[in-house]
């Protein structure tokens, strides 16, 4: 069993109005729109206290969260949402195809695989479709459907500013391949077509321009390493000088799936 509360990371400003307030096993990002806050992913229920403290530590009030936006419907990204929504009154948003994971009508949250039971169910307020835009204050988040990891995985692209410079942040909403493994798909009687959807999503996202690469897990973009470099006074390592890092990341995701498929064929 993962012990998510042991994954504390000191919260910090990534750039301008964008902050990291999550933990090692599941990232959470906070956007100050000038007219309220948007939180991307609530994390585990067991780490919600870290997220709340992180929001306060970077200078904001949890009660100012207007939207809780989810990358996908897995336990480590939606687990803290019910309690947070009840505390703050924030609206909850997720890709339409993952809505039943939030409500508990579909037992595909990966909670069981992580050693937990998902009992913190909730009814999402807003269901996203491809190319929807979430608007609040100075922020518009462009949402691209990226099915594969889950049917309703969404990727997010939005401008971030420090008042002088504007950069475009980008996040793939879910890149793990374990939920595409033969054993998982057969256990839950899921269609293998999700693998093709995953690869199609990768190719589509390669066309997006990304200046600031975010991960919904810290290992996607070396969040911890970059935060240490940022604190040491190095030029902001989160901002890309070219788009190589974004494209290489997407290629690595693609290759991980292809390698897994090849290994399964070898075993059989």
The answer, yes or no, to whether residue 27 has pLDDT greater than 80, is yes
Residues 6+ away with beta carbon under 8 Å from 3: none
Secondary element (H or E) of residue 206 = none
Domain residue ranges in the chain: 4-267
Write down the pLDDT at residue 268: 53
- pLDDT tens across 142-186, in order? 999 999 999 999 999 999 999 999 999 999 999 999 999 999 999
- Per the listing, tokens 């070219």 go with 242
Distance, in Å, from the CA atom of 6 to the CA atom of 104, rounded to the nearest integer, reads 27
Rounded to an integer, the average pLDDT of 34-59 is 98
**Do β-strands 212-214 and 29-32 pair in parallel, antiparallel, or remain unpaired?**
unpaired
The three-state secondary structure class of 15 is strand
Q: What share of the chain is helix, strand, coil (3-state, %, to 5)?
A: 40, 20, 40
17 pLDDT tier (thresholds 50, 70, 90): very high
The CATH number given to 4-267 is 3.60.15.10
The answer, yes or no, to whether residue 267 has pLDDT greater than 80, is no
Cross-strand bridge partners of residue 171: 156, 214
Lookup: tokens for 202: 């990768």
């Amino acid at each position: 069993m993962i012990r998510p509360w042991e994954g504390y990371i000191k919260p910090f400003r990534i750039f301008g109005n964008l902050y990291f307030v999550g933990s090692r096993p599941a990232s959470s990002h906070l956007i100050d729109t000038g007219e309220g806050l948007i939180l991307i992913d609530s994390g585990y229920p067991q780490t919600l206290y870290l997220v709340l403290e992180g929001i306060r530590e970077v200078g904001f009030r949890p009660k100012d969260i207007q939207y809780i936006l989810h990358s996908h419907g897995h336990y480590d990204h939606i687990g803290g949402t019910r309690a947070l929504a009840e505390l703050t009154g924030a609206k909850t948003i997720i890709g339409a195809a993952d809505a039943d994971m939030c409500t508990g009508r579909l037992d595909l949250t990966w909670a069981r695989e992580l050693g937990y039971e998902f009992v913190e169910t909730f009814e999402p307020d807003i269901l996203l479709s491809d190319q929807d835009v979430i608007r609040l204050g100075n922020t518009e988040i462009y949402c691209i459907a990226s099915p594969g990891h889950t049917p309703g995985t969404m990727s997010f692209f939005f401008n971030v500013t420090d008042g002088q410079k504007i950069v475009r942040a980008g996040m793939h909403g879910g890149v793990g391949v374990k939920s595409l493994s033969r054993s998982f798909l057969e256990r839950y009687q899921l269609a293998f077509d999700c693998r093709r959807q995953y690869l199609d999503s990768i190719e589509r996202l390669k066309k997006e321009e990304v200046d600031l690469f975010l991960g919904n897990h810290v290992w996607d973009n070396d969040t911890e390493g970059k935060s240490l470099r940022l604190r040491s006074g190095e030029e902001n390592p989160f901002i890309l000088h070219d788009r190589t890092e974004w494209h290489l990341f997407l290629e690595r995701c693609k290759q991980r799936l292809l390698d897994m498929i090849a290994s399964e064929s070898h075993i059989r």
